[in-house]
Amino acid sequence: MSSILCIGNAGIDLIAPVGATWPTRAGAWQVVEDGLEVKVGGCGYDTAIGIAKLGVASKLIAGVGSGGHGQLVRDELERQGVVLPARCTHPTQATPLELLVADEGGRPSAMHFVGASKHVDAKLLRDLHGDGLFDDCSAIHLSGVGLLPGLERQDFAQALLDILAHAPCLELSLDVSLHEHRSRDVWQRVLQPLLGTGCVSVFSPNYDEACQIHGLPRDATIAERWAKDFFDFLQSRYDGLAKDFVLIVRDGAHGSVAVDAGGREVRMRAEPVEPVDLTSAGEAWWAGFLVGRHRQRERREFDRSAGALVPALRFAHAVAARAVQVRGSSAWDFDDLVED
């Protein structure tokens, strides 16, 4: 049975109650009466968990520490049925940590401490390839580029290319994480090793991330030609863009827009729901999309035109809609979405 492999971060989330705010000036205290939630999380973790809960074999490459926090991450992944190779545990670096504060609308902001995520690099990738980790992977997903420094290096992209040449992987997808102060030029340098080498076939930033990469201010929602213009922008910036490259711009409750190399565009509406927790909405969307594409491969209905993405996009939005109605990925229940 083939599997989906995520490469991303996994660690400990410290989550402030909804409505709490960061102190706005030096020396000030913000007193919060409610308690702090402590849980396992991370974009790689949440996506891998979602894939497993949707009934597909799931693997994760994420750096964790050898102490108690790392053990907590490893135990939870094992409980959820996600494979985390032993090589991913670093003997001295700390397990990644995130401090999250969500506003009244449930939209999160975070401070990310990288820690053992620095362990995810080209050497680890090659070692795991030697162990046979990639031998049954039909898809590889790079989750949260911008949170793992090693994913931004040219040698990491080259290791991926070497692995793809010998692995059964049919699709490599890429997600990014929004930075408060990252310019368009910095993003171009960060993404060049991955987009410029042609190894990425599906790139799906959310609208805020796409605006930051494009260097444009955000409007209320995606304009009629915005996604196509962004696709043209990427083509002009990355000469080595994959010939069958597909761009998907996600815009939360407004849905998503997919554009393929032939200029064809597909718009997908999101299912209207009353959200409880938007913290991992993007990761749930990715889990649904990756599993939707996996099902297409299993049925031999797989190609990379925008139109062929419709079933996977529809399933991704359905999974995300389900996920945001509960708090935390550990509470996701997708049993009725699992195929026999």
- From first to last of its 340 residues, the chain has per-residue pLDDT tens of 799 999 999 999 998 887 787 788 888 888 888 888 899 999 999 999 999 999 999 999 999 999 999 999 999 999 999 999 999 999 999 999 998 887 776 677 888 899 999 999 999 999 999 999 999 999 999 998 988 999 999 999 999 999 999 889 889 999 999 887 888 999 999 999 999 999 999 999 999 999 999 988 878 778 878 899 999 999 999 989 999 999 999 998 899 999 999 999 999 999 889 988 888 899 999 999 999 999 999 988 888 888 999 999 999 999 999 999 998 888 999 999 998 7
Residue 8 lies in a domain: yes
Residue 29 lies in a domain: no
Count up the domains in the chain and report the number.
1
Which contiguous run of DSSP H or E holds residue 45?
Answer: helix 43-53
Which residue, chain included where needed, has tokens 């931004």? Answer: 152
CA pair distance 73, 184, nearest whole angstrom: 34
Residue 81 lies in a domain: yes
CA pair distance 217, 240, nearest whole angstrom: 27
Residue 263 lies in a domain: yes
C-alpha closest to that of 264 among 209, 221, 227: 227
CA pair distance 171, 189, nearest whole angstrom: 23
pLDDT at 206: 93
Residue 28 lies in a domain: no
Residue 30 lies in a domain: no
Q: Which residues contact 139 (CB under 8 A, 6 or more apart)?
A: 4, 5, 169, 170, 171, 172, 173, 290, 293, 294, 297
The single-letter code of the amino acid at 312 is A
CATH of the domain at 230: 3.40.1190.20
| Contact criterion met (CB below 8 Å) for 287 and 253 | no
Which contiguous run of DSSP H or E holds residue 171?
Answer: strand 171-176
| Contact criterion met (CB below 8 Å) for 44 and 98 | no
Residue 24 lies in a domain: no
Q: Which residues contact 170 (CB under 8 A, 6 or more apart)?
A: 138, 139, 297, 302
Domain range enclosing 115: 3-19+35-337
